[in-house]
Every structure is written in C-alpha cells, then in structure tokens.
Structure 1
Amino acid sequence: MGTRNLLVALAGQPNCGKSTVFNLLTGARQHVANYPGVTVEKKTGSYTVDDTCVELVDLPGTYSLTSYSLEERVARDFLLGDNPAVVINVADGSNLKRNLYLTLQLLEMEVPTVLNLNMMDVVERRGQKIDIARLQEILGIPVVPTKAKKGEGKEALRVAVKQLADSRTESMFSIDYGLMEPHIAELEKELREDPVLSIQYPVRWLAIKLLENDVEAITLLERTHPDAQQVLQLKESCRTRFQEEAGNSIERHIAFTRHGMCAKITRETVTFPADKRRSLSDRADKYVCNRYLGPVILIAILMVLYQVAIVFGNWLALQVWPAWGALENFAAEYLPAAGFVDDPLLRSLGMWVVKSTTAILNYLPIFFLLFSLIAILEDSGYMPRMAFILDRLFRRFGLHGQSTLPMILGGVYVGGCAIPGVMATKAIPDERARLATIMIVPMMNCLAKVPLYLILIGAYFADVGGLAMFFIATVTLFMALPVAKLLSLTVLKKQPSAPFIMEMPPYHIPALAGTMRRAGERIWLFLKKIVTVVAAVAVVVFVLINYPGLPEDRQAYYDDMRSTAVQRFMKDVYKTEFNGQILQSDVLPIILFDESLKRAKQGVTDSDKAAAINDQFQADNPVYYAVVKRVGKDGKKLNRSLRNVIKVRKKVRRESRSERFENSFLGTMGKALEPVTQWAGFNWRINIALLSAFAAKENSAATLGSIYGIDGDQSVQESMKAGETGFTALHALALMLFMALYPPCVPTSIMVRHQSNSTKWMLFSIGYQTLLGLFVASLVFTGGTVLGLTGFQTMWAFYGLCVVATLVMGLIPTPDEKETDVIATTTPCKENCS
C-alpha cells in the first residue's frame, strides 16, 4: 500500500503558541513563502505518520474568521477553497474562554477539527484544571493537551489528526442563536434551492455570515448563486425584522451569543484555584501600561533598541566591512585591468554592480540586530503593550498602534531603513492604517539620508549643528502624521478598516533558538528580495550615468593629457638604468601593480606578513617593484616621476567622469528639471544628485562629491562650498527637507509594491512624495527668500508651522474611528472582537 498525502491546517489566535506547535510537529522541514496575490506569509511544513505524509499549513493567527483583516480573509479562504482534511485548532489552555471563540467558528464552518489545548504547563502553574473528557463531549471533537515548549504531546496530536482524517467524523455541536434561529432557517431554505452552493459551502454558516453583513460572504454569494439579488433582499428583510423584534443589531447579538457560549463551556470544564492572585504579567502591566510611566518606559526601551541596533550595529558593520572590501578587491583583481582614462566596459559595469551590492550588504549587521531585537520584543509580550501605549495618539492620524514598529525601523528619529520598515507593516490588521503607514514610512530618516544631512549641516549650519540635526530628526514625524491623516481622509477613505483588537499576552522569556531562527528567516527574505533588485537597478543607473559619453574632441583632450604625462615619465626612464627595461606600454601596468600591492597589504598589521607580500610581488616583477618601492637611486627617482603620472591620472579620471556625468542621460534630465526646481533653489547639479538618489539615497552624497570634484585634500563640505558659489543655508535647508520627503528608493518602492500588492500604490507613493517634497522645499526656499529670513530662522519658522498643522489635523475625526479593545490575559474578548 502506497503513501497517501494529507492536507492539514493549523489555526489559532495570536499568542497561543501556534508557531511552537508547528515547529514541534514539522521540525526543520519547513518552507516560508506568501499566499498567492497577497502579502500574508505562508508557512508550510511536513511530517510522516505511518503510511501518511501530512502537509501542514500554518494559517495566519486570527481572533476570529470574519472579513475585517487580510489575515482573517486569507485563513477563511484557505479553509473554504483548499478543503483541508483536518484543522488543528491550537488554543491557549490557560485562556480557554477567549480561545474558544475561534473554535466555535471553525465548528460552524463544518471543518473536521482537532482542538489542541496548548500551554498546559501554564495551566498547571496557575493552579487551573481542565476536564478534557467533558470538553470533548460538549464539542464533539478530539481534544489533545500539549506542552509544546517542552516538546510534550506531539505523538498524541499526530495520532488524533490521522484518526480524524480516517474516520471523517463531523461534530454535531451547534450554537443556538435564540431569536435569530427562524431567520437563519428562512435564509438556509432559500440557499438550499441552489444545490451547487449547498455542496461547496456550509449553508448554515453562509446564512449566518450573510445576516452578519459579512462583505466577503456577500461577494462569495454573488459569485456563485444564480439568484444572488433575491437572497440579498431576503437577508435585508431578515435583518430588519430581527432588529425590530430584538431591539439589537444582529452583529451584536451574534457576538454576545458566541461569548456567552464560550463562558458556559468554560464554566463546565475549567476549575480555577480558590485564591485568584494577580499574575506577574498583570502586576507588571500596572507600571508598563500606565498612562504616565508607560511612555517613559517605552522611550527608554526604544533608546536601548536604537543604541544596540544602530550604534553597535554600525560598529559591527565596520568590523564586517573588510569582508565586503575583500569581495571588491577580488572583483578588481579578476575583472579586466583598469585603463588610464577610461576602464573597459566589463570592469566598469562589474565594479559598479559589486560596489552597489556591498553597499547594501554593509547594512546586514544592523538589520540582523534589529530583527533579533524585534523578535525578542514580540516573544516577550512587550510589542502589544507598545502598540497599546501609542494607539491613542496614532488613531487620531489614521494610523494604528502597530504602526509603531514600522516607523521605528524606518527611522522615526535617525538611523533606520525604509525597507524593513515597510516589511513590518504586514502585522497591521487594519488595511486603511496599514496602507497609510506604508505611505509615510519612507518619510522617516533612514540611514541612507544621513550622509547628505551631515554634508549640508557641516557646510552651512556648522555653528548650530546639534540644533540642525535635532530639527531634521524630529520634523519628519510632524510632517508624516498630518500626511497620514490627510491620506486617511482622502485616497484611503474607502479602504476597509478593522476594529482594533489588542491582546495583552503574559510575559515570556524569549527562546534564543527561536529568536535567531526568525531573524535569520527575515534576513534571508531581505537578501532574496533586495540584493537582486539592487544589482538590476545598478545596471540601469550605470547606463544613465555613463552614456552617451564624451564628445570626440573632449576625449582627445584627455588623451593628450595622458600622453603628455606618460612622455614626461619616459624621459626620466631614459636617464636611468631601467632604460630599455621599462617601455611606454609599461606605465599603466606599473600603476596597477602599485594599486594591487596596496590592496594586498590592506588591513595587514603583522610585519612578517607584510614582508612576505613584498617578497611575492618583488619575485613577480622586480623592475616594477623597484619603481613602486623606491629600490636604489634610480628607483627613488622614477618613483617621484611615477607619483606625478598618478596625480595626472587621478585628475584626468575625475574630470572626465564629472564631464561625462554632466553630458549623460541623467545630466540632461537634471538640466531639464531646472525650470521646476529653481523655486526650491536647486540647479542642474543638485537635480542630478537627487535623481541618482532614486536608486539608493546614499548616491546623493556620492554624486555631489563627484560633481564638485572631491579629492583627498578637501572635505566634502569644503569642496561643496567652494564648488557651488551662491549656495546658502536657505538652499541647504530646502535640500534637506526635500531629501526628508524624498520618494522611496527603488528597493523600497519594490517593497511597497510587494506589501501593498499593487503597482498603483507604488506609483502613488513615488508621485505624491515627489510633489510634496518639491512643494515643501519651494515653500521654504521661496518663502524664506521673500521674507528675508536666514536659513536658521526659516528652519524654526517651518518647524512651528509643522507642529501647528499636526495639532490641527489631530483634532479632525478619522472616518469610522474605532475604540481600542484590550484583551487581557484573563478577560474575555469584547463584543467587536467578532
């Protein structure tokens, strides 16, 4: 007899230990992807029991199976469309009353269910007792207790799943909705007239969902029923009659009935200890969630998060950088050799792509620390408390308590990255708030913006650098909150909004293995989605920056400079013992030999190793080595002459690159934009820097350096001040604000497309931030010029304007504003959790 395959779903509310149960059952045989067409993560695994191979799908954690959030819709669609043979409903045994709310809905959907009472170790620790036999009798389904964290109950759960799949026994449990029952029966009768619908979907469940006015259920009906409008008319009639009879809405009646049933079952099956002492979590929450002390603790935790992830992460990135530098050196050695003026195309493109990739890889230590710390906050139970503390503020601006983390990752102060910030929005259940958060995360101060800030502050606000940095670090939040509110009132107004359900799970000590695994998974996803994009974008930017290239007369001019420098060197060669050993064709190879030797000794501090490298190079080419290392009288003489050639080469390469840049496609675009950007004080050179930043914001500072001819003798700030006469602190302020509001870079834009699942929202994000940034920069520059204000005066006038705008926008009510429901560890879910 061959092996049979079995599809099993794992369902449960958040914080019930579902992921631990999934890991317990599947071990290392797991795969993470996304559900087709949506951003919700899909985790699958497998295990074998006897002759049965079980494919286990971990459904998103949901409190119920309504259609409020994307996670709820995904979970429900999977149960209806994929028809799993068994559903393992993981429930927190220590909070049975709350967890049964999902169980009852699974039974209404008539899916074969095994109730897994997890966290039984917590049940025992709290002195509770659960009558498993009685619970099994009431619900009519198998009930299996487990202690997943301790690895107990795995085999019993696997056996229960196989037995239920073999027997296909259906539960006879049904909720009596009282006054609503006649209306359910009336709608059921109408639905059963379509036999196809009756076979595809549980009719009683569909009738209840229609009476509940569930949007997805209505859509499902319209898609499958031949006379959907007649059914919908009957549904409206039933709803109206019930409200007249009961004096209550159907939604409230259903929620109260379900909660009443959960309470009744709990009373019959759970015994609580006589002395109900407050748990440690409840005692801690007295301070952690306090109206006044809570925000102080939150700020302290965020400061630690910032210090460890950003400051220590930057230090760690510096320690790791030699590895990326070695990768660049490896590429430099094996790609075609560099030229005197221009490099071969393969080398130029190869080095460009490698450097673009290593620039992103350099952030990996920071991201790994961030993801690890986030996993610790999630596993410890603090993340919901953070959302609870900030929800009251954020809801006034169309955001969500869970918008906190994406904004922190994006750089709500200074030093984040928009890519993981946008990635983190997938945890926000409210679609309107989620999209609003996605739209403002790129406005935060990511690390890539900081180099440009530092250049401008050092050049034009050096005497008030601390205040200028505080301004740009905080004004972005006062710009982002009003923008989020405006988006919620306009383009996002019709997006679905879910009730804000929040659970305060008990505090846990995070497991190191789980933390590392989740951080590793996120890093791997980041690498797969971003590095490939960066490499592709690097090729596009390379073409835009380097083509169509220099005119023939300018290329001839630089070739003449090269030829003159080489001829001077050769005249010196003729006067030395190297005459005849060094030819004109050897000049560039000698320079490259010098560069290779320096790369080989880079980071080498041991004198013996350095000597061994010198010996190797001397053996490879004694003549080149003598010139480069000043061996003998003639070697010293030619070395001085070689330094002059190298100086000319650097100048030629720098100036030709700058000129090629000006005449490139990107340079032409910069000049074409001048009529628009002049009101913000930007000329074509600034426009080029900003255009190049679209690929990666780090490019803005690097491009300015290239344009203004930065070399080792001048700082970036000095070079810019010298190269851009007439540029004032007011110009710098406008440029800083434009960069703050700059549209998302290409990798972030790809992530916006991925998380919003819409090209439209990606294009909107790019477009509105571009226009907003240009408007603000023009307002600041033109307004400051007209009023005769200095850059510093304009800075604080604009800051005050942003604060006032934030206060005013906060007073405008948000559409369908919902109150926060907090589900404590020992209290039932409130009504609109349904």
Structure 2
Amino acid sequence: MKTPLTFALAGNPNAGKTTLFNALTGARQHVGNYPGVTVERKSGVHTLPDGTSCNIVDLPGTYSLTAYSIEEVVARDFLVQERPDVVINIVDASNLERNLYLTIQLLELGVPLIIALNMMDVAHDRGIELDPERLSALLGVPVVPIVARGGRGINNLMAEAHRLGQRTAAWRPLRVSYGEDLDSMLQQMEKVIEEHDLLTDTYSPRWLAMKYLENDSQIREKGGRTNRQAATILEGMAAEATRHHQVTLETLPEALIADQRYGFIKSVLRQGVLSLRHDPDRLYTTDRIDQVLTNRLLGPVIMLAILFGLYTFTFTYSELPVAWLGGLFGWLGGLAEAALPDGPLKSLLISGVIDGVGGVLGFVPLIMFMFFGIAVLEDSGYLARVAFMLDRVFHTFGLHGSSVMAYIVSGGIAGGCAVPGVMATRTLKSRRERLATLLTVSFMNCGAKLPVLALLTAVFFAGRQAMVMFLLTLLAWTVAMVVAKIYRLTVLKGPSTPFVMELPPYRFPTLRGLLIHTWERTWHYIKKAGTVILAISIILWAMMTYPGLSAQEDAYFAAQRELAQTEYFASEDELAQRLSVIDRREAERSLELSLAGRIGRSLEVISRLAGFDWRTNIALVGGFAAKEVVISTLGTAYSLGEVDPEASESLAATLANDPAWNPVKALAMMVFVMFYAPCFVTVVCIAREAGSWKWGALAMGFNTVFAFAMAVLIYQVGMFLGLG
C-alpha cells in the first residue's frame, strides 16, 4: 500500500494558515508537541475528491526561517528532517511583499513549494490586482489563489499539491544574488563546506554558508559538533565579512541579506504581478474600524465593555446547562449510593470520582461558552488590537508589548492556560522582560481557576456574577503588572525594549473555525479532568480517608448508636435524625484524623487569619498540583463529611448553607486561588524556560505569601466592617 503524501502548511502569523488547516482537516486532526519542545504540533488528514488521503501538518506561524525563535527552529527542522512531499506556503495576498519574505527563504532552502495566495477577496477590496500566473512564472512554482475562510480555490490547491507531491523531484534551491562582496564570500564558504562535507546530507552548501553569515546559532552549533575544523574556518570567514561590511557599509551581513531579499521581491512584484486600482493612501474598512476601536480615549472603554459583555454572555447562557450537568452527577451519585454496599469502593466512587471529578466537569458548559467568546475575539482580529492598546501601559510597568499576548494566552481574557503563556515569552528578546513576564503570567484567571471563581460567585454573589468576574479580571491584570514592576525595579533591573506588531485585518469568523477552536480547548479541559484531575482526586480521597478512626473511637461511635436505639423517640424519623447526626460526626471526625485532615488542621493556626478552615486548607493544598483540584477536593471533603443520602446536596448548596462560609470568606478564597503558587506543571515550565529552578521556587514562594497577605487583608477588613 502506498504511503499517504505529507503536506506541510507554512506561513506568517495571521495569513490564514490555521483557517486553511481547519478547512482541510475538520475534526480529523490531533494536537501534540514536537519532540523535545513544547511548541504545539497540529496534524490531520485530508481526503481528496478521488478518495486519496494525505497527511496535513500545520507548522508554527513564522516570519522567517532564521533561528531567532523556537517556532522558526521547529518549522525549519521539520522541513529538513521530515522532508514533507510538498510545502504549501500560505501568503496574504493583501500584504504580499512582507509575506513573500518567508517564501524566498523556503525557495532558497529548496523545498517542493506551492504558494496558496490567500485572502484574494481582501486584496480585491483594497484595490490590489494580482496576476498569479505571472508570479508563478517568475518564481518557478505553482501559485493558486484561494479564500480559505470561504473555501474558494481549496480543491484546486490540493489537486495541484497532489500532482507536485507525486513527482518526487529533487530539491532545487533558489539562488538569489546578494551583491558582489557577499556572493564572492558565499562561493568561498561553499567550497569549504563541500571540501569538508559539512552537513551536506541535510542542507545545500549555499544555504549553510548563508546561515553562517546570518550568525545562525543553531547551524553554527551543529557545524561545530559535526566538524570543528570546518566550523572554525567558516566562523572566521563570517567574522571577516562582518568586519568588512561594518567598515564599508556600516551594516551587518544579515541586514544586507534581508535588504537584498526584499529587493528581489520588489523586482518580482514590479514585473506585472501587482497593480493598484485605488489611491494607496485610501483608508480601508479595517483602518476605519481601527480609528474607533484603537482610539486613545474610546478604545480602552470599548475594550472593557467587550470584556464585560463576554462575561455576561458566558454566565447568562451557561447557567442552565451547568445546572443540568450538576443534576446529572447528583443522579449518578444517587445511583451509586443505592446500588453499592457500604465500604471503601463505594466511598471512592462517590466521594473521589463522582463528587470530585464531577465537580470539575460540571463547569464544562461555562468553559465552552467562555472559549467560544474568546475564539470570536481572536478569529476576528480584535485580540491583536487589545495587545496594541495595552502596549503603552505595559511599558510603564517595565514590560514589553509582546508580554500582552503571553498574558492573554494565560487567561488574561479568562479561560487560557499559564503553560502556553510561559512558552509565549520565548518571543521576547530581553531576558529581564522575559523573566518578569513568565513570573507573572500565572496571575491571570486561567481555565483551571474559572470553576472555583464561578462556583463562589454563583453562591455568594448571585445575580452579579458577570460584574464580579469582570472586576476580578481587572484585579488580575493590575496585580500582575504591579508585581512585574516590582521585579523590574529589584531583581530584574534594566531598560524596556521597543515593541512593533502586526495588526491583522478584521474578518468575520467562520462558524466551523469557531467550533473547532472551542472544541479543541474544551476537549483539553475535559481530558485533564479525566486523567490528571481524576488521578489527583483519587490520591486526595485516599489521604482524606486513611488512616481513619482508631479502634477506641470506632467503639465510641458504635456505643453512641446503641444508646440512641435504647432512648425514647416520638417517631422513627426522630430516631433516624439522631443516628444521622452521629454518622455525620463520625464521618467528620474520620476526615479530621486522616492524613489530609491533619495537614489541614496544622495549617489552620495560620489560615484562620484569612478565614480558611481545615477543609478549605485541604482543597488549597491540592491546588498546588492543579487549580481545578480545589473544587474537586472541596466536593470530596464535604462529601466525606455527609453520609445521609436523603440530605445530600450539591457543593454549591452545601457552601451556601454552611455557617462557616460568607461572602467575605468567599472573596478572600477567590483572591488567594487567583494569586497563589502556579500549578506544578507551570512551575516546571517556568524553571525550564528561565534556565534555573530558583525562578520556579520564587514563583511558588513569593506568589503564595503575596496571595495569603491579600486574602488576610480582605477577610480582616471585611469582617471588621461587618460584611460577613
């Protein structure tokens, strides 16, 4: 059986690459990580009209193939090591000159290439006329015009890719002239590479020589490991070229190479490829919208209104399905209660699994609605405007504008995850700004914290959930930036670097794209609940169950039941109620004497300052592993303390009826959960990205002390004012 062809999708961010990937693969895709790195790898299957299947790999969005970021390294390594049959380069037709920069680098690498000229509709609206056939003739590769979001031209694109993939032609690198001086040096370096056979089994000699001139750290490292003698010669030649160009032209070879590439692109475009119908100074729809949405006065107000609208939408429309799921897990608990005999297995299933994991899964509708709203903002291009507007604010606090996207990815709008937020800091060139960002991204309200915040706002701030969540989000941003400023004034002193970013055009999101993005993120949340949280819930259940009561205390409660049986009660109900009280005291005492209960009690001396009792402490300790566990552990703790099936309630109802809980304690706990130590996986990522475990330890220690201080302040002031 013939192996399916593999097509790699490459392109700039915001060029429509992900839209095309979703259109090609639909639900037939899966997400993982590239080996050895945490950059996301998406792959899927596409079936051609004749029934032939092909594998589609969505490479990380990148502007070039020079190793300035991990995404660029990953994309380049995949191309040269995996050697896909065809590389489909998605190019924004409305911004052709900049997008073709990556195209030229792909051609210089020699990959079998097809250009997917995307957003032809946007280009047409802007008065840009393109001749795909002329561009194809000049570059020597197929060029297919498409509109990915509307599905136009995709069948033609895949048919052309299939034809090219079946040819199995050798890679033919494009040779661009970089001027007499550089071309002469490149030829000399090529000879050295060929004589020493340096990495020629993977790269073309000219491409390798160019990477040495561009001071590509990855290639230099590989060359040094392969042949130290040849690498030393090449590094010396590159250093000589650098000195020569600094003296003669006051520039570096890599800058000259970039200029020459853009010169090559301009010469191509001027040969009948591109023409303008309208005045180039004309304002287009995107520009007119930006005059309002990014206005210095109106922009921030609109941004806050959109954020508040997102929370209103989420809590309004998720309320009913959340109640349905809560009822479903309550029904499952009742079934297990009736069907299973008393014992550890029954306790594990009801308290550990159903009440624990069910408490987390019960918030899936809320998470799904939140992710859908964020997908709308992201796919429409508005989130990029949020980053643009916040750039000036971030510089005030010593951060880089790119930090905004790391915060947003971590849950700055709510519902993200701190792990990819930490990874997003790799784009920051300044180490100080990078460390300040990755140490504070965990303050954002990620998807793991949402169930805790949603539960407590629903119970203690009913009818005001959207407003409370909105204010908590503003608090998260404020605290993150203030803490970042503290870091930048103390352990991470240094100047801020300038920020330049691309604002993509506004687009109407496609329903299919929104559903795919929503499902991907929701499914990740569900999988985490079904694996990591299930495992942690079982471990915590065991810690909350064993060692249990001593023989003497077992005998004491048994004697209490026997005594109750001998007493006079007016009715059977009164006797049952008396026995239920004894059972509840026994269950609570058993939980208190368990390993987790003893830990909770030992912390209660300090935690009482913030209003946290020993049950709450158990949940918060579990949250060090994963924040979702806070809810599941609370559910388990209260479930183990409640043994009367007739009186069993949801966790929300239990907390609402518990005299130990009040709005002040709930607010203190929400703030503590928002800001205390990141989950363990995030801490590992911080340590790995920062290059030292001391930064991971700092994130755990500082965040926890800071969060507890804020919780104590809120609780003490609130109780003093009589708000509890």
What TM-score results when the alignment is normalised by the length of structure 1?
0.72
Question: Which of 302, 306, 310 in structure 1 is aligned with 2:307?
Answer: 302
- After TM superposition, the structure 1 = structure 2 runs for residues 237-386 of structure 1, keeping only pairs within 5 Å, are 237-268=240-271, 269-276=273-280, 277-334=282-339, 336-338=340-342, 344-352=343-351, 353-386=353-386
Encode CA deviations 1:78-107: one digit per residue, 9 max, x unaligned: 012112232111112222112101101111
| 2:119 pairs with 1:186 | no
Shift of residue 301, structure 1, vs aligned partner: 1.0
Aligned residue identity for 1:698: I
Q: How far apart, CA to CA, are the structure 2 residues paired with 1:36 and 1:172?
A: 27
From 202, 218, 225, give the equivalent of 1:223: 225
Q: Larger C-alpha radius of gyration, 1 or 2?
A: 1
Residues 3 and 51, structure 1, Cα contact 8 Å, conserved in 2: no
**CA distance change for structure 1 residues 539 and 296 in 2, over 3 Å: closer, same or farther?**
same
Picking from 204, 207, 216, the partner of 1:205 is 207
For residues 191 and 793 of structure 1, do their structure 2 counterparts lie closer, same or farther at Cα, with a shift above 3 Å needed? farther
Instruction: Give aligned pairs, total.
Output: 694
Partner Cα distance (2:80, 2:394) in 1: 35
Deviations 1:302-356 (A, max 9, x none): 111121124443454224432333333333333x234xxxxx1001011121111
Shift of residue 528, structure 1, vs aligned partner = 1.7
Alignment-derived partner of residue 830 in structure 1: none
Matched, 1:139 2:139: yes
Deviation track 1:716-738 (CA, whole Å, cap 9, x = no partner) reads: 6973389xxxxxx9x99987764
Distance 1:310 1:766, change over 3 A: farther
Q: Map 1:60-79 onto structure 2 (within 5 A).
A: 60-79=60-79
What is the match of residue 631 of structure 2?
698
Deviation of 1:739 (Å): 4.3
The CA deviation at 1:512 is: 1.2
Equivalence map 1:381-780=2 (5 Å): 381-397=381-397, 399=399, 401=401, 404=404, 407=407, 416=414, 420=417, 422-423=419-420, 430=427, 437=437, 439-444=439-444, 446-450=449-453, 475-485=475-485, 502-568=501-567, 641-670=571-600, 687-688=617-618, 690-694=620-624, 696-698=629-631, 719-720=659-660, 738-744=672-678, 748-750=679-681, 765=696, 768-774=699-705, 777=708
Q: Is contact 1:239–1:250 with CA below 8 Å preserved after alignment?
A: yes
- Give the AA of the match of 1:198: T
- Take 1:468 and 1:311, find their aligned partners in 2: how far apart are those partners? 14
Partner amino acid, structure 2, of 1:84 = P
Specify the alignment match of 1:81 in structure 2: 81
SS at match of 2:215: coil
Q: Given that residues 402 and 499 in structure 2 are in contact (C-alpha distance below 8 angstroms), is that contact kept between their aligned partners in structure 1?
A: no
Alignment of 1:98-137 (within 5 A): 98-137=98-137
**Inter-partner Cα distance in structure 1 for 2:91 and 2:81:** 23
Residue 521 to residue 780, structure 1, CA distance change in 2 (3 Å): closer
Unaligned 5+ segments in structure 2 are: none
Per the alignment, in what secondary structure is the counterpart of residue 719 of structure 1? coil
Of the structure 1 ranges 239-248 and 112-121, higher mean CA displacement relative to structure 2 is found in 112-121
Relative to 1, partners in 2 of residues 1:17 and 1:674: Cα closer, same or farther, differing over 3 Å?
A: closer
Do the aligned residues in 2 keep the contact of 1:39 with 1:755 (CA within 8 Å)?
no
Q: What amino acid maps onto 1:554 in structure 2? A: E
CA distance in 1, matches of 2:476, 2:130: 52
Shift of 1:698: 3.0
Between 1:670-679 and 1:686-695, the stretch displaced more is 670-679
- What's the CA shift string for 1:777-825, capped at 9, x where partnerless? 46996xx8xxxx9736999xxxxxxxxxxxxxxxxxxxxxxxxxxxxxx
Q: Distance in 2 between matches of 1:469 and 1:21?
A: 35
Q: What is the distance in 2 between the residues matched to 1:110 and 1:97? A: 20
List per-residue Cα deviations over 1:653-703 (Å, max 9, x = no partner): 322232223322123334555788799898867754643554623368669
Deviation at 1:148, TM superposition (A): 3.4
Give the aligned residue type for 1:531. G
Distance 1:140 1:721 in 2: 71
Aligned to 1:584: none
> Is contact 1:398-1:488 (8 Å) kept?
yes
SS at match of 1:197: coil
Could you tell me how far 1:26 is from its partner in structure 2? 4.6
Partners of 1:83 and 1:490 lie apart in 2 by 48
Displacement of 1:550? 0.9
Tell whether the 8 Å contact from 2:379 to 2:507 is kept in structure 1 after alignment: yes
Distance change in 2, residues 1:768/1:429 (3 Å): closer
**Partner Cα distance (1:501, 1:393) in 2:** 15
State, as a whole percentage, how many aligned pairs show the same letter.
36
What CA distance in whole angstroms lies between the structure 1 residues aligned with 2:642 and 2:25? 59
Structure 2 counterpart of 1:791, one-letter code = V
Q: Secondary structure at the match of 2:296?
A: coil
Letter in 1 for 2:63: Y
* 2:384–2:503 Cα contact (<8 Å) kept: yes
2:32–2:42: 8 Å Cα contact kept in structure 1?
Answer: yes
Residue 178 of structure 2 aligns with an amino acid whose one-letter code is Y
Structure 1 Cα separation of the partners of residues 602 and 156 of structure 2: 71
Please give the alpha-carbon distance, in whole angstroms, between the structure 2 residues aligned to 1:526 and 1:718. 30
**Cα shift readout 1:170-199 (whole Å, capped 9, x = no counterpart):** 556432222433333333333223215122
